[in-house]
Amino acid sequence: MTRSGGDFQPRPLKRLFTANQCWTSFLDAGGLRDIEVEAVTKMLACGTRILGVKEYNCDKPECPHVRYVTNSCGSRAVLRKKNTDLWIATQLNRLPDCDWVHLVFTLPDTLWPVFESNRWLLNDVCRLAVENLLYAARKRGLEPGIFCAIHTYGRRLNWHPHVHVSVTCGGLNKHGHWKKLSFLKRDAFAVDVEYAATASESVVRRSGDAGIVVYRRNHSGEAWC
């Protein structure tokens, strides 16, 4: 019996984690969250026989070819091109076919440690960004389309919670008619300043119940990134 294709070949990222037992050493050092350990464990098992394997045979009895395909872990931490393509296709069918603008909402860096120690607050990061945009649009009597994604790390791989938001360059008025909506740089900056202030106030307001240590921001804005 011959086989077309072999077992899964480790990706460069997997080799990086397993070289010189670096992941084992990192794990033994402690300090990792359960979700981080779970994500790496799935990634290391992804595409191996640990997660099972499917055997494909030709439907012709005289054909000896067999192909084995190992299962994926289905984790968000690994490449899932098919799922990504399906997601993109779904969003393209749902989202309005119009111009969009990309905005980034950030926080004073003095608040970053608060969100790192209290990750449940990250839900508010997205919510407050959307609420501020809706407020700005509704002042003009419009209902825009918005989708957003939170990023918890910056380009330097440092902890830096911020939100990437795409918003339609227009919206529906109370009569259901589409009207253009533009965000000038000064308007976007004003919304971001309001967002940072609202987020700061939200943290301060909720700190009493959660035992959060609140870091005061520099009101000059120089500490913002």
Q: Comparing 35-39, 169-173, 196-200, which segment has the lowest mean pLDDT? A: 196-200
Q: What is the pLDDT of residue 223?
A: 36
Q: Which has more confidence, 213 or 51?
A: 51
Q: Which has more confidence, 10 or 119?
A: 119
- The total of other beta-carbon atoms located within 10 Å of residue 129's CB is 27
Tell whether the model's pLDDT for residue 10 goes beyond 80.
Answer: no
Could you report the per-residue pLDDT of 98-149, keeping only the tens digit for each? Answer: 999 998 888 888 888 888 888 888 888 888 888 888 988 898 899 999 999 9
Q: What is the pLDDT of residue 3?
A: 42
E strands of the chain, at which residues?
2-3, 53-57, 65-70, 100-105, 143-153, 159-172, 178-180
Could you report the per-residue pLDDT of 46-100, keeping only the tens digit for each? Answer: 888 888 889 998 888 888 888 888 888 877 666 666 777 888 899 888 888 899 9
- The full set of domain ranges for the chain reads 2-73, 88-210
For 98, the token pair is 């119009």
Q: What is the pLDDT of residue 219?
A: 42
Looking only at the bridges linking them, the beta strands covering 159-172 and 143-153 are antiparallel
Tell whether the model's pLDDT for residue 2 goes beyond 50.
Answer: no
Q: What is the pLDDT of residue 183?
A: 67
Could you report the per-residue pLDDT of 139-189, keeping only the tens digit for each? Answer: 889 999 999 999 998 888 889 999 999 999 999 999 999 999 876 655 544
Q: Spell out the long-range contacts of 133-142 with Cβ–Cβ below 8 A and sequence spacing 24 or more.
A: 133/103, 133/165, 133/167, 133/191, 136/183, 136/187, 136/191, 137/167, 137/171, 137/181, 140/171, 140/179, 140/181, 141/173, 141/174, 142/170, 142/171, 142/172, 142/173, 142/179, 142/181
Q: What is the pLDDT of residue 19?
A: 86
Instruction: Give the CATH fold of the 88-210 domain.
Output: GMP Synthetase; Chain A, domain 3 (3.30.300)
- CA 40 from chain center: how many Å? 17
Q: 53: exposed, middle or buried (C-beta count within 10 Å: 0-12, 13-18, 19+)?
A: middle
Separation between Cα atoms, residue 104 and residue 186, nearest integer Å: 14
Q: What is the pLDDT of residue 145?
A: 93
C-alpha torsion sign, points 72, 75, 79, 82: positive
Report which of 204, 199, 130 is spatially closest to residue 168, judged by C-alpha positions: 130
- CA 180 from chain center: how many Å? 29
